[in-house]
Amino acid sequence: MESIDEYRRKVLRRTYKKDLRIFAVTVAVLALLLVLAVVLPPFMRFLFWILLILFLIPLVLMCDLCVMTFRRLKRWNIAIGSIDAVYLEDEDQAPTSIAKISYKTSDGKKYIHEHDIQCYGDYEEGCEDTVRNMIEEDKRKYENKQVPLFYCPSNPEHCFVMMEDLER
């Protein structure tokens, strides 16, 4: 794997491109809605402004989430974790495969993080074979692999696991 600084730059560049696309779509949609609000007749304009405000709330939250994620990736420390086990949780309601990841922080303390890999969905009768195949496939793909993660320096139990950069 490349050096920590190179990896951080790669992840920041990838996140920046994704966030830039989200911001561009948000601004384009907002501009389109504002043009529509001006073009509408006055009696419909009030209802459209209410709809516009309701539409803006999720857009603002999405943009805020992008900024927070980018800031965390820039400030948090990087560690390489090892996926020790993959197991099934909540078999009766919504079967979910979980990866148990252990990692050491820069001060040498060892932490364990549980990360959701995938969820089957609502449990139905007769889905046992599919769930068993799902967990076997996840064990084959993820167990005993190294995965990079970003952790908070002040609270190392909070982390972002970068499953897309899993070492195969």
| Selected residue with higher pLDDT from 33 and 83 | 83
pLDDT band with cut points at 50, 70 and 90 for residue 110: very high
The C-alpha angle 38, 41, 43, rounded to 5 degrees, equals 115
Q: How many CA atoms lie within 13 A of 18 on its CB side?
A: 12
* Rounded Cα distance, 69 and 82, in Å: 23
The mean pLDDT of 151-159, rounded to a whole number, is: 90
pTM greater than the 0.95 cutoff: no
Q: Determine contact, residues 126/83, Cβ cutoff 8 Å.
A: no
> What contacts 95, CB < 8 A, 6 or more positions away?
88, 89, 119, 120, 123, 127, 131, 134, 135
For the chain, give the longest Cα–Cα distance.
66
pLDDT of residue 1: 56
Tell me what the pLDDT averaged over the chain comes to: 86
